Structure 1
Amino acid sequence: MNAIIEKINRALSEASAQAAAAGDAAAVEQIRIDYLGRNGLFPALSKEMGSVAPEERKETGRAFNEGRNKIQAMIDEATARLAAAPETAADAIDLSLPGRRWSCGHKHPVTIVADECANLFRRMGFIVSEGPEIEDIFHNFDALNTPMDHPSRDPQDTFYFDDGRILRTQTSPVQIRTMESHEPPVRIVAPGRVFRRDTPDATHGMNFHQIEGLYIDRNVSMADLKSVLRTFATEMYGPKVKIRLRPHFFPFTEPSVEYDFSCIMCGGKGCPVCKNSGWIEIAGAGMVDPNVLKNVGYDPEIWSGYAFGLGIERLAMLRYRIPDLRYLYENDVRFLEQF
């Protein structure tokens, strides 16, 4: 009998004793590793087969295969034996114990406010629409009537990729994509994340969130826009909040307005938050510029509409009296647990 067959017979005897004594799955697994694993006995013996004399190779090969199969059978039997073993007292379930509450997380304040805004506008008849965060120049600037020399196109203000695409600077491209794929009337809000090259401070960041609205139909007027904005303000912050619209300029709306709330912190009396003006700037809005309608194939002689954009972080800061925008993104558990 050659040395390999002797090693196989010795291994079968040892493995049989180990399998019979195995009391848990870890012990069974160790048997497999010792004999059949990558660095185990049988893979090592297979490398020695080349040194066996030609006249002994047939017998040695048969012993090798039979031994490996027997080891595997021992492992399978031990595994089945453990699975069928009666449950011990330590493993039994005590049905008299009270249930345990799952420790669930909760939404981030920005997500809470974004969801509230979306639900509020849904109640006013708007549909939530989404679009890609990586945009092309046409949808982010050209279709929105943004001049070629506008500062927002500058790489100092916008994140550009090597292929010419950008990280969207606003959610307005969603409005363009929706109008391209839908015939009017259109009534949507587009919440989402936007990106701008900006120095982070108490009220600015490079990554923030907006929710923009668009309504296109026949005979839409500024009065319709003001009604929606007033409803939004009172629903979000209560009936005492006032709004005002100030003339402004945006490339994609004409006429354009800034949308202000009376200061929630001081009730409009004047405080450091509102710079003693009694008002806080919330959003930009206005009537959709006819050139934007033409860019998506709408006839401005038939259709008109309004658009508005709200900064969700700023709404969250007002809702929760947060003095610094950066608190929202520092992931301080002590801060987040307050919500």
Structure 2
Amino acid sequence: MEALQEQISSYEQEIKAFQPADAAELEAYRIKFLGTKGIVKQIFGEMKNVPVEQKKEAGQVLNAFKQLAESQYEAFKHLTENSQKKGPSIDETLPGTKLPMGTRHPLRVVENEIVSIFEKLGFSVATGPEIEDDWHNFTSLNMPEHHPARDMQDTFYVAQNPDWVLRTHTSSVQARIMEQGNLPVRVICPGRVYRNETISARAHCFFHQCEGLYIDKNVSFADLKQTLYYFVTEMFGPDTKVRFRPSYFPFTEPSAEMDISCTVCGGKGCNLCKHTGWVEILGCGMVHPNMLRNFGIDPEVYTGFAFGMGVERITQVKYQVNDLRLYSQNDVRFLRQFQSS
């Protein structure tokens, strides 16, 4: 019994002095003391040589030894696991990880450029609500109830209420500016609009417009043309050609659509211009006298012009983006192409 106690005492000192440097040393400790052929198993095997009257005392000593070996292992196992979770040490004096630079959305890039060009001509920016009433979105713009022009715009109605809609164009902002009665008016109206259309590469249920309005005494169609010539030159370059085609809009008379020479093929013909050499970019015209009267403006004294363009369309022509869905899919592979914009 005394020899057994001396042996156990020697192992206890070794266990208490043990300080593993890593998980590998701790595993070696486990195998040495607690393994199937470890020291604890071997010492318990010595019980057969202990006299019967000393077995109770010897059992208590052996159990205490086993508990010491197991408790040391569990304690160091816990410390080792925590150190592994912390990961490698960090040198705080080193420079931090550089974060990737974000980019502006291509539609915002183009919209800002459009606004900047017209601000040089004295236009100020005007905004309005995206949920509009029927008067500002339709009736005041020379589209009374049952007017066929309303069928040109598939409308989202709010809670099936015919008096409230998601605006179908930013012309509603022009209406709100005109009803203030502060003349002359020279504004550019950028914003998001909504139409109930099937989403495809060429159409979407929401898109963006920039519309302009200029009302003053002696404003002519020549003023409109010169303003838009300047815009095209600034946006697409001085070699871009322009042409006007007669068109119809209920809030302008006369009305026109404006085309520019294709920016891809230079007028020779390609998929963008459908092999015509021309790309339509906006609609325009002189403000209809009925629209002026709706806001108490005398058409015998004041005249004006208006124009409207889709930001997606201008972006398509400028950057050759042929799928409208790309603008709202948040695909970083697409957005990163505009990192330097």
Return the TM-score normalized by structure 1. 0.70
- Retained in 1: the 8 A contact 2:103–2:335? no
| 1:46-86 CA distance string (max 9 Å, x none) | xxxxxxxxxxxxxxxxxxxxxxxxxxxxxxxxxxxxxxxxx
Pairing 1:292–2:288 present: no
Partner of 1:118: 115
Partner of 1:149: 146
Q: 1:268 to 1:147 in 2, by over 3 A?
A: farther
Question: 5+ unaligned residues in a row in structure 1: which ranges?
Answer: 1-89
- Retained in 2: the 8 A contact 1:147–1:251? no
- Retained in 2: the 8 A contact 1:152–1:158? no
Q: 1:97 aligns with which of 88, 94, 97?
A: 94
Output the CA distance in 1 between the equivalents of 2:101 and 2:147. 47
Partner of 1:4: none
Output the CA distance in 2 between the equivalents of 1:152 and 1:160. 17
| 1:22-48 CA distance string (max 9 Å, x none) | xxxxxxxxxxxxxxxxxxxxxxxxxxx
- For 1:60-75, list aligned pairs within 5 A: none
Which deviates the most, 145-154 or 271-280? 145-154
Supply the AA of the counterpart residue of 1:306. F
Q: 1:215 to 1:111 in 2, by over 3 A?
A: same
Residue 201 of structure 1 deviates from its aligned partner by 2.3
Output the CA distance in 2 between the equivalents of 1:326 and 1:265. 21
Supply the AA of the counterpart residue of 1:115. N
Partner of 1:305: 304
Partner of 2:130: 133
Partner of 2:316: 317
Residue 92 of structure 1 deviates from its aligned partner by 10
Residue 155 of structure 1 deviates from its aligned partner by 10
| 1:194-241 CA distance string (max 9 Å, x none) | 011112222221100000000000000011000111111111111111
Output the CA distance in 2 between the equivalents of 1:252 and 1:136. 17
State the structure with more CA Rg.
2
Supply the AA of the counterpart residue of 1:302. V
- Retained in 2: the 8 A contact 1:252–1:289? yes
Partner of 1:42: none
Return the TM-score normalized by structure 2. 0.69
Aligned residues: 249
Partner of 1:32: none
Pairing 1:160–2:157 present: yes
Partner of 1:54: none
Partner of 1:263: 262
SS in 1 for 2:330: coil
Pairing 1:174–2:173 present: yes
- Retained in 1: the 8 A contact 2:181–2:295? no
Supply the AA of the counterpart residue of 1:294. R
Output the CA distance in 2 between the equivalents of 1:217 and 1:324. 39
Q: 1:279 to 1:155 in 2, by over 3 A?
A: closer
Residue 275 of structure 1 deviates from its aligned partner by 1.4
Q: 1:278 to 1:102 in 2, by over 3 A?
A: same
- For 1:34-49, list aligned pairs within 5 A: none
Question: 5+ unaligned residues in a row in structure 2: which ranges?
Answer: 1-87
Q: 1:156 to 1:280 in 2, by over 3 A?
A: closer
- Retained in 2: the 8 A contact 1:189–1:214? yes
Output the CA distance in 1 between the equivalents of 2:119 and 2:166. 27
| 1:155-198 CA distance string (max 9 Å, x none) | 98101123330000000010110111142100000000001111
Identical-residue share of aligned pairs (%)? 54
- Retained in 2: the 8 A contact 1:212–1:309? yes
Partner of 1:228: 227
Supply the AA of the counterpart residue of 1:241. T
Q: 1:240 to 1:98 in 2, by over 3 A?
A: same
SS in 2 for 1:201: coil
Output the CA distance in 2 between the equivalents of 1:333 and 1:269. 33
Supply the AA of the counterpart residue of 2:102. G
Residue 321 of structure 1 deviates from its aligned partner by 1.1
- Retained in 2: the 8 A contact 1:144–1:292? yes
Supply the AA of the counterpart residue of 1:136. D
Supply the AA of the counterpart residue of 1:300. P
- Retained in 1: the 8 A contact 2:210–2:308? yes
Output the CA distance in 2 between the equivalents of 1:177 and 1:265. 38
Output the CA distance in 2 between the equivalents of 1:320 and 1:154. 32
